[in-house]
């Protein structure tokens, strides 16, 4: 649960939790201090009151006498509306006041002023006792003056301050939560920027990340760079392997083909000629597939570090058409080329390979004695090579998926193919910032493949 929470939320919740804890703590501390301050000021007044009474104690004809000063009780009335009790004890005898009023336990022994909290007349009270010794009659008589007051004034003052402190703590907490949200966002900003920098990259961009990152993110950046490095190496290795494999397969295939052709010419029976023709076709197909695998590997390799040649699309088309002319002638297929001026910047080898694959497809799927139209156009910064055939078209399936590797269209019965041709073309165009448009021609039902490139 916690693990799935976003770091921002976790940070905010943690900081807010800390703020809540601190707010509670500060509220409790202020309340406690306020209570103590109020209690202490009450203690002071109680002590003053008891002392004022004790000052008036005197001995008169052997009797302890005292006079309750007006100020002794009026000072207590001035600080709060609390109930007031008092008691004066001389020796064992209660001289005046409330007989049953409790007295602080250490009033007779302890400090000169003793305080205690107790219970009287159904309420909590605070007592203060002052001790004084008077010489009366036979000897010294200890006199203890106790003044007590209920605690509602102290409670009211401390309650009031506590409520104020609570309001302040709440305000403090709210401000702290706001700041936590801000702090969480601010501290996550480099991480987000880092993530965006990674996600903005192209699918095959495996260059190491160079951007500055806070020290906390450096290990992540290092790990990511190492991972990308290893990934790049392993991709290159497999491409190399494929290229090597294709190359190695093609050479013996050429030998087999040459031998088969010789055998075909010297074959006597129609049956064995038929069989040899099948062998030649199969070898051709294997050779083409190996060539395409090689092309594909080349595309993957060269796309990483694209050459920037100025290329005239008209010339490119002418070369590609010339290269396929022998195959086309075998099926009596005519190339009809319509060129206009169009230039692009890119890798001539790759573009040739892309166009070759598209034309090869067109020838392969066209019935005998048809025409393949090739048109070159350029407008609004976009150069196009459109190849339209009169074949069966691209079929019913989803057209986009035809550029996936080893994917073949839905109506390719009887035609050999690897399914790599359009993948190569699409990869090349993507590497050049262009795209491959596939659709069925409006009339006649043939396929219409457009190579779209940004023009120079």
Q: Which of 121, 204, 233, 259 binds other proteins (CB under 8 A)?
A: 121
Give CA–CA dist 339/232, Å, rounded.
Answer: 40
- Smallest distance from other proteins to CB 191, Å: 59
Q: Which of 15, 47, 50, 84 binds other proteins (CB under 8 A)?
A: 84
Give CA–CA dist 157/441, Å, rounded.
Answer: 92
- Smallest distance from other proteins to CB 129, Å: 18
Does 100 bind other proteins (CB under 8 A)? Our answer is no
Give CA–CA dist 418/290, Å, rounded.
Answer: 9
Closer residue to other proteins (CB): 69 or 118: 69
DSSP 424: H
Per the CB < 8 A criterion, the answer to whether 343 and 312 are in contact is: yes
Closer residue to other proteins (CB): 82 or 295: 82
Give CA–CA dist 433/431, Å, rounded.
Answer: 6
Does 67 bind other proteins (CB under 8 A)? Our answer is yes
Residues forming a β-bridge with 371: 334
Region at 395 (left for phi over 0; alpha for psi -120 to 50; beta for the rest): left
Q: Which of 8, 35, 59, 97 binds other proteins (CB under 8 A)?
A: 97
Give the C-alpha distances (Å, rounded to integers) separating 163 from 59, 90, 124, 157, 159: 50, 44, 22, 10, 6
For strands 334-338 and 371-379, give the pairing: parallel
From the list 90-98, 225-233, 291-299, 325-333, the region that binds other proteins by CB under 8 A is 90-98
Q: Which of 35, 83, 236, 407 binds other proteins (CB under 8 A)?
A: 83
Closer residue to other proteins (CB): 45 or 424: 45
- Smallest distance from other proteins to CB 52, Å: 11
Does 76 bind other proteins (CB under 8 A)? Our answer is yes
Does 102 bind other proteins (CB under 8 A)? Our answer is no
Does 209 bind other proteins (CB under 8 A)? Our answer is no
Per the CB < 8 A criterion, the answer to whether 135 and 171 are in contact is: no
Does 214 bind other proteins (CB under 8 A)? Our answer is no
Per the CB < 8 A criterion, the answer to whether 421 and 360 are in contact is: yes
Give CA–CA dist 142/102, Å, rounded.
Answer: 17
Q: Which of 65, 247, 408, 435 binds other proteins (CB under 8 A)?
A: 65
Does 73 bind other proteins (CB under 8 A)? Our answer is yes
From the list 60-68, 270-278, 317-325, 431-439, the region that binds other proteins by CB under 8 A is 60-68
Query: Which of these, 262, 258, 264, lies nearest to 277 by C-alpha position?
Result: 264
Closer residue to other proteins (CB): 98 or 301: 98
- What are the residues binding other proteins (CB under 8 A)? 65-74, 76-78, 81-85, 95-98, 121-123, 152
């Amino acid at each position: 649960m916690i693990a799935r929470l976003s770091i921002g939320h976790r940070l905010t919740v943690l900081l807010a939790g800390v703020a809540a804890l601190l707010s509670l703590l500060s509220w409790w501390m202020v309340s406690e201090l306020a209570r103590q301050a109020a209690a202490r000021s009450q203690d002071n007044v109680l002590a003053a009151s008891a002392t004022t009474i004790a000052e008036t104690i005197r001995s008169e004809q052997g009797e302890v006498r005292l006079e309750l000063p007006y100020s002794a009780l009026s000072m207590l009335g001035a600080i709060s509306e609390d109930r007031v009790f008092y008691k004066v004890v001389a020796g064992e005898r209660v001289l005046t006041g409330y007989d049953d009023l409790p007295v602080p336990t250490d009033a007779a022994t302890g400090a000169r002023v003793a305080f205690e909290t107790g219970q009287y007349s159904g309420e909590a009270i605070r007592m203060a006792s002052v001790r004084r010794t008077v010489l009366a009659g036979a000897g010294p008589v200890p006199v203890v003056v106790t003044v007590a007051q209920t605690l509602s004034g102290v409670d009211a003052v401390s309650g009031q301050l506590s409520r104020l402190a609570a309001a302040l703590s709440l305000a403090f907490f709210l401000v702290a939560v706001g700041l936590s949200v801000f702090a969480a966002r601010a501290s996550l900003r480099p991480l987000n920027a880092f993530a965006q920098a990674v996600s903005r990259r192209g699918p095959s961009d495996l260059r190491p990340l160079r951007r500055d990152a806070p020290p906390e993110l450096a290990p992540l950046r290092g790990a990511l760079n190492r991972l990308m490095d290893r990934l790049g190496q392993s991709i290159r290795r497999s491409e190399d392997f494929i290229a090597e494999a294709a190359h190695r397969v093609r050479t013996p295939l050429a030998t087999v083909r040459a031998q088969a052709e010789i055998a075909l010419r010297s074959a006597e029976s129609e049956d064995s000629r038929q069989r040899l023709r099948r062998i030649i076709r199969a070898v051709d197909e294997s050779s083409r597939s190996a060539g395409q695998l090689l092309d594909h590997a080349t595309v993957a390799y060269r796309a990483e570090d694209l050459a920037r040649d100025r290329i005239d699309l008209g010339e490119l088309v002418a070369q590609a058409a010339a290269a396929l002319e022998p195959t086309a002638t075998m099926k009596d297929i005519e190339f009809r080329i319509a060129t206009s001026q169009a230039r692009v910047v890119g890798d001539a080898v790759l573009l040739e390979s892309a166009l070759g694959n598209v034309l090869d497809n067109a020838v392969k799927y066209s019935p005998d004695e048809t025409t393949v139209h090739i048109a070159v156009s350029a407008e609004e910064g976009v150069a196009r090579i459109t190849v339209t055939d009169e074949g069966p078209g691209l079929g019913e399936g989803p057209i986009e998926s035809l550029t996936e590797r080893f994917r073949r269209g839905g109506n390719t019965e009887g035609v050999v193919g690897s399914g790599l041709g359009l993948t190569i073309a699409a990869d090349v165009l993507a590497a050049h910032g262009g795209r491959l448009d596939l659709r069925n021609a409006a009339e006649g039902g043939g396929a219409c493949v457009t190579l779209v490139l940004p023009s120079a």
